Amino acid sequence: MSSNTYNGLEKIVPSTMADMVEVKLREYLKNKPFLPGDALPTEAELAEALGVSRNVLREALSRLRMLGMIESKKKRGMVLTKPDILGSFEKVLDPLIIDKDTLQDIFELRLVLEMGLADLLFLRKTDKDVEELEAIAKAEKYDSGKQFRIKSEIEFHGKLYEMTGNNTLKRFQSMLLPIFGYVVTSLEKKKIAGKVNHLDLVQILKKGTKEDFKEGMYEHLKPHFDRLKEIE
């Protein structure tokens, strides 16, 4: 509620010319009915329209390029692209440069996603998907080296996300996985495993209900939830 007390007033943030040009360009792209693939005005035209130097304009364009909003094409010049909403997120998602609290937040975020998957999964899973998942889970049994374990962990959970039919979700989780691995290392050392393993989860997908799967996934992740309780 308190955040609404001064409704309409916004924090004043000092901005550089490039910041301002970036904002203007984003508004321009939004309000003009451009479609992905459409050619944009040239640098010279944009610089003149905005009354700024080519250098400042280029800095702003470079940011939009980095955000995946525009692309430079040979012969056609700049075109509008389908923005890559996770692209720049990915760049900063590095366990080595993220502070401890945020790492913990991201770790929990992945637990939340895993626990919330069941509904989409049961809506969209196919027999073929479940077979492929089973093959991944079965392959795990014959080797238990740590490298292999992490790889199959990624393969198994990655496949689950894929089965939701949601590309953004799948990509998001593949970005979160390295971080999950980073936080989990300490647990791995103790070799604590949930009561429900990957093969059990496959069986539930084959014969169980959505509710069974939700319970099963909780048991599978329980060592992590227990660790959260310890931290509290």
Site residues (CB under 8 A) for a second copy? 1, 18, 26, 29-30, 36, 55, 58-59, 62-63, 66-69, 82-86, 88-89, 91-94, 96-99, 101-102, 105-106, 108-109, 111-120, 123-124, 155, 164, 166-169, 172, 214, 218, 225, 228-229, 232
Query: What is the nearest approach in angstroms of a second copy to the Cβ of residue 189?
Result: 24
Query: What is the nearest approach in angstroms of a second copy to the Cβ of residue 105?
Result: 4
Token pair recorded at residue 63: 């940011």
Residue-wise burial string across 183-202, b where 16 or more C-beta atoms lie within 10 A, e elsewhere: bbeeeeeeeeebebbbbbbb
Residue-wise burial string across 85-118, b where 16 or more C-beta atoms lie within 10 A, e elsewhere: ebeeeeeebeeeebeeeeeeebbeebbebbeebb
Give strand ranges (E) for the chain. 70-73, 77-80
Q: Give CA–CA dist 62/3, Å, rounded.
A: 34
Query: What is the nearest approach in angstroms of a second copy to the Cβ of residue 207?
Result: 21
Q: Are 21 and 54 in contact (CB under 8 A)?
A: no
Which of residues 172 and 180 has its CB atom nearest to a second copy in the complex? Answer: 172
Which of residues 66 and 192 has its CB atom nearest to a second copy in the complex? Answer: 66
Which of residues 189 and 205 has its CB atom nearest to a second copy in the complex? Answer: 205
Which of residues 79 and 120 has its CB atom nearest to a second copy in the complex? Answer: 120
- 170 Cα distance to chain centroid: 7
- 3-class secondary-structure state, position 3: helix
Which of residues 76 and 189 has its CB atom nearest to a second copy in the complex? Answer: 76
Query: What is the nearest approach in angstroms of a second copy to the Cβ of residue 94?
Result: 7
Query: What is the nearest approach in angstroms of a second copy to the Cβ of residue 19?
Result: 9
